[in-house]
A and B are shown apart, each in its own frame.
Chain A
Amino acid sequence: MPDSRFKILTSASTAGPGDAGRTGSWRVERPVIDYSRCTPAKLGKHACHLCWLYCPDRTISKDIEPQIDLEYCKGCGICAEECPTRAIRMVAEEEFAKGDGHE
């Protein structure tokens, strides 16, 4: 082990979310799930989950009613494109900015 008088600074990083900050701010549009079309939600049991699979950023949960982490969802739209029942629409962020002023 090194001599205790030495600090030995070097680039060694530990893991955590948000390295790029709140990547939800990248979004121009956000995914919105229509649970009446969503297969697991409709069936009330685990099924499909392709949106969970294909999300590059793991911001969709594998729940029977999938939840989207808007803090980090980058709005790529792959989930909407891959959903076999077209249960996910991409909606412009502006639509939500008007509502609650949080964006």
Chain B
Amino acid sequence: MNTGIKTTVLNLTEEEFVYPGNRACAGCTLSLLYRIGTKALGRDCIFVVPPSCLTVMQGLYPVAASQLPIFNGTFASTAAIATGVRAAMKQRGLKTQVVAWAGDGGTADIGIQALSGALERQEDIIYICYDNEAYMNTGVQRSGTTPQGSLTTNTPYSGKKENSKNVPAIVAAHNPAYVATCSASYPLDFHDKLLKAKEIRGFKYFHIQTPCPPGWGCEERMTVKIGKAAVDCGLSDLYEIENGRKTLSEPSRKLLDPAKMKPLDDYLKMQVRFKSLSAEQVAAMQARIDEKWQAYRREFGQAVGNNSGVFNGEDV
């Protein structure tokens, strides 16, 4: 899984790459992701960011909350702009890492054309999609990754009708060098996958479930727990795909033991956005999860009593 020493809380660098006092909501897990992700990426980076929560978090002119060089560009063209920056680095003989950070809208909806083009060209960039599962920056409108049944401002009563897009699968169909799914609640998993990605040439894609307190309808203090609940019920499966081979990541691997899977409902009931789900809808969602994990068990084997690297009883 990781090429080097596994990062723990104890050996994670203390160096910080963002300043406090920024405009992220209290309890924002994007903020957490960015903070830990930049520790892996280091300073020799250029970020490309579309309009999104991250734009606002990174600061309003003339103050930047992030200490890294950033290009803020138009909504649909993150992957294209990142391509241009990458091309400039190549022409100038520089090894600076180009990293696109976009939300689900800027990646899978309005941004998908540029993303697909950059994937097809196998651009040597890291692309990070922080998926808070709706257009949060504009006030919680539904997106392509909004889960079925979720209440949003334009699906206000009975929730979103359609199932969400499987964006990592769409990306994987382009055969990029590396695909990883992550959770903001497992920041060290994200961190180490980034370290790995930095050493890989070609398109590296990260899709990260990013809990959002105002958008999901939960207490700010619960956002890390919610992300873990999503992983623990098998809904949010953490994995990597390299050379066409998928491997489950540690936080998800334990679920190969069916006894370790928590019910979907534990996750759903933590969030107001799912309050209008009918029992039938929940059952259908649970069935989809069960089917997915049955397939995983056929592929990877069914493990019982899997050691998932525990620290103080908490997985990080």
A binds B: yes
Q: How far does the alpha carbon of A61 sit from the alpha carbon of B35 in the complex, in Å?
A: 14
- Kindly state the separation between the CA atoms of A56 and B221 in the bound complex, as whole angstroms: 11
User: Does B279 sit within 8 A of A, measured CB to CB?
Assistant: no
- The segment from B16-24, B83-91, B97-105 found at the interface with A is B16-24
- Chain A nearest Cβ from B52, distance in angstroms: 16
The answer to whether B9 touches A53, judged by C-beta atoms less than 8 angstroms apart, is yes
A82 to B6, CA, bound (A): 21
> Which residues of chain B have C-beta atoms less than 8 A from A59's C-beta?
20
Q: Out of A14, A23, A27, A82, which one reaches B20, CB within 8 Å?
A: A23
- Near A by CB (< 8 A), chain B positions 202-225 give 213, 219-225
In chain A, residues 71-103, which have Cβ atoms closer than 8 Å to a Cβ of chain B?
71-72, 74-78, 80-82, 84, 90
* Chain A residues with CB below 8 A from B66, complex form: 15
Q: Would B221 and A78 count as touching, CB distance under 8 A?
A: yes
**By the criterion CB–CB under 8 Å, are A76 and B63 in contact?**
no
Does B64 lie within 8 Å of A13, measured CB to CB? yes
Say if the beta carbon of A18 comes within 8 Å of chain B.
yes
Which residue on chain A has the smallest CB distance to residue B29?
A: A56
A54 vs B188: C-alpha distance in the bound complex, in angstroms?
10
Instruction: Say which residue of B9, B10, B63, B222 sits within 8 Å of A19 (CB atoms).
Output: B63
| B-side contacts of A81, CB under 8 Å | 221-222, 224-225
Q: Does A64 contact B (CB under 8 A)?
A: no
Chain B interface mostly helix, strand, loop or mixed? loop
B63 A77 Cβ-Cβ under 8 A:
no
Q: How many residues of B contact A (CB 8 A)?
A: 44
A48, CB-defined interface residue at 8 Å: yes
Q: Taking A13-B61, A20-B21 as contacts, is the C-beta distance between A90 and B221 under 8 angstroms?
A: yes
Knowing A13-B61, A14-B62, A62-B14, the reply to whether A57 touches B22 (Cβ < 8 A) is: yes
A residues neighboring B (CB under 8 Å): 11-23, 26-27, 39, 46-50, 52-59, 62, 69, 71-72, 74-78, 80-82, 84, 90
Q: B residues bordering A, Cβ < 8 Å?
A: 9-10, 12, 14, 16, 18-29, 31-32, 35-36, 59-67, 187-188, 213, 219-225, 312-314, 316
Beyond the given A16-B19, A58-B20, could you list 16 further A-B residue pairs with CB under 8 A, ordered by the A residue number?
A13-B59, A15-B66, A21-B21, A23-B22, A39-B312, A47-B10, A48-B9, A48-B312, A50-B316, A57-B21, A62-B14, A69-B20, A76-B26, A76-B220, A81-B221, A84-B313
